[in-house]
Structure 1
Amino acid sequence: MASPVPIKTLSQTWTFFEGEWRDGNAPVLGPRTHGAWLGSMVFDGARAFEGVTPDLDLHLARVNNSAREMLLEPSLTVEEWRALVDDGLRKFPRNAELYIRPMYWAEQGLGGGVRFEPDSTNWCLTIYEAPMPAPKGGAITLSPYRRPSAETAPVGAKASCHYANGARALIEASKRGFDNCLMRDMLGNIAEFANSNAFLAKNGVVFTPAANGTFLNGITRQRVIGLLRADGVEVIETSLTYDDFLEADEIFSTGNFQKVAPMSRIDARTLEAGPMYRRARALYWDFAHSRAPLRAVS
């Protein structure tokens, strides 16, 4: 019999589940929970860093929308989620760099099977320490794997079932010496990175794949587009090929975890963290820190 895999010690974590905050990483999903073994989980991820929580309400609204897209039955309002988040943030130092993760899933499947029972929807809120990664850049390539279409997956939901495909894309790229990869849609156009939205800059114009329903139109993506346009930058949402990225002056990503990050190499070609990336990151940081924090200094 194989020895059990040691459980890795994780960062400081608090989880609100079934009426109380639970310290540590105690499991809330049992081995027969539908979400744990048949993939009915939806979630969202917001950031708390340097005392701010940018776009928190949009993330909380999206987890409810994701639940509906997945045919689950969300039970908390945005206001109820926000009150729980505010309470949970007080358990950490004010300037802790945190990830805020609300989740819904089905507890039961019909007859124990794939078709879940929507009225068995359960939920929890997990908040944990997650330092903001330094924007040091990364090497990217093209993945052989593609994003699904609406006919093949619940692409309108931020659902855990999507992330297995992103994970295998990242693992495949890593084996070839890359940190991330661009994924195409079923038509062959670039959709996004394996774990974030994609941007390129060429001749002073910023381009990003049009939100065509094959990937999530990220909250940070939308925010950065709006900030750049308000600052006078032309941002074009359109169909892009891998050749467009190969010929780009700059490439950067947006996402919940790292917010705005540069890419430093595509295949064998070195890239600079250029002026459009720096402008996007500075605009986002200014926006985030203009938001009033949700809690007083503890």
Structure 2
Amino acid sequence: MILVQDQLKDQSEVRIDIEDRGYQFGDGVYEVVRIYNGQYFGMEEHLIRLERSAREIQMTLPYSIELLKERLEKLAKANDIRDGHVYLQITRGVAERTHQFPLQQAPFLVAYARKSPRPLSKMKDGITAITTEDIRWLRCDIKSLNLLGNVLGKQKAMDTKCDESIFIRNDIVTEGSSTNVYIVKNGEIWTHPANNFILNGITRQVVLDIAKETGITVHEETFTKNELMDADEVIISSTTMEVTPVISIDGTQVSNGEPGKVARTLQEKFNERIAQLQRVKN
């Protein structure tokens, strides 16, 4: 079952119009929300960000956040998702193909749920990454459907048998192709400030909250590629990758090439947040 507008439908019944502006222009926004033990993680925050992204492209959500919550809960249950994620996108709708907005906008919503395991081995052992030029547009804070720059970055990593590309803009590290990036130096965390050059990840917000709660100093400040390569630890985070250490960049190992203490602390505390979901439900 998938969610189309505000109704659950069998996927075989659904057709997408060839003049949907999401298909023709990437004119829309999306979110991916993780499900642990049958419970959504950070759904409220994801939907608030979805609403903001829509507002930034002059689009209004077709339904209230409360109604979306209710329908997404039903979607997960209908597909018997215990551990997985839901993908939700809203386009500006169907209209004759012209670049300007249609006079009458009718946003079109589609969401589906999928089972997906946690990346436990990568979280335990760490991943490899490369650096690449950040060629994306200047509104990376909007979670839009326009992801070609991210796609090319991820493919470049795959082509070199790495897991992630870390974007560099004018010698400043911004983020990964599908993750936020942090460095650790002398037990303190640095990460790019949440402005138009990065997406303010929901997992990023949780990580920074955990760090502050644990007494780890956090600097939401820019850092250079040299500082990245000289870091004691490098960590990425996202809805699907959670909190994962980076052990090698551009073929050079990070520090001693092993996941570090700060990464392990963040992972432990992140697991506690996941465990809280079940306790709250019960």
Q: Structure 2 residue aligned with 1:116, among 77, 101, 114?
A: 101
CA distance in 2, matches of 1:192, 1:106: 27
RMSD: 2.1
2: CA distance, partners of 1:23 / 1:164: 30
- Spell out the pairing of 1:35-114 with structure 2 (5 A cutoff): 35-93=22-80, 96-109=82-95, 111-114=96-99
> 2 CA distance for matches of 1:252 and 1:45?
20
> 1:93-172 to 2 correspondence within 5 Å?
93=80, 96-109=82-95, 111-117=96-102, 119-136=105-122, 137-150=126-139, 155-161=140-146, 163-172=147-156
Task: Tell me which of 20, 36, 47 is aligned to 1:33.
Answer: 20
Q: Which of 263, 267, 270 is residue 277 of structure 1 equivalent to?
A: 263
Who is 1:174 aligned against? 158
1:28 deviation in Å?
4.4
More deviation, 169-178/53-62: 169-178
**In the alignment, is the contact (CA less than 8 A) between 2:127 and 2:246 conserved in 1?**
yes
Query: Which amino acid is 2:156 matched to?
Result: E
Structure 1 residue 174, shift from structure 2 partner: 2.5
In structure 1, what residue type is equivalent to 2:154? L
Structure number with higher helix proportion:
2
Check conservation: 1:17, 1:28, Cα contact below 8 A: no
Superposition deviation, residue 113 in structure 1: 1.4
1:184 is displaced (CA, Å) by 2.1
User: Aligned pair 1:287/2:273, yes or no?
Assistant: yes
Moved more, 30-39 or 19-28: 19-28
Answer whether contact 1:60 1:102 (CA < 8 A) is retained: no
- Cα distance in 1 for partners of 2:219, 2:15 equals 43
Change (3 A) 1:25 1:131: farther
| Secondary structure class of the residue paired with 1:244 | helix
8 Å CA contact retained: 2:237, 2:244: yes
Q: Secondary structure at the match of 2:277?
A: coil
Deviations 1:123-179 (A, max 9, x none): 1222222222224222111113434324xxxx3321010x11011112123323322
Q: Give me the TM-score of the superposition, normalised by structure 1.
A: 0.85
- Secondary structure in 2 matching 1:85: helix
| 1:221-242 deviation per Cα after TM superposition (whole angstroms, max 9, x unaligned) | 0111011111111111111111
**Partner SS state of residue 90, structure 1:** helix
CA 1:293 to 1:61, structure 2 compared with 1: closer, same or farther past 3 Å? farther
Matched letter for residue 165 of structure 2? C
Which residue type is aligned with residue 246 of structure 1? Answer: M
- CA 1:264–1:16 in structure 2 vs 1: closer, same or farther (change >3 Å)? same
Contact 2:204 2:238 in 1 (8 A): yes
Cα drift, residue 24 of structure 1: 4.2
Give the CA deviation at 1:212.
2.8
- What SS class does the counterpart of residue 238 from structure 1 fall into? coil
Stretch of structure 1 that moved more, 170-179 or 205-214? 170-179
Matched residue of 1:222: which SS?
helix
Percent identical: 19
Structure 2: runs of 5+ lacking an equivalent: none
- Letter of the 2:116 counterpart: A
Gaps of 5+ in 1: 1-13
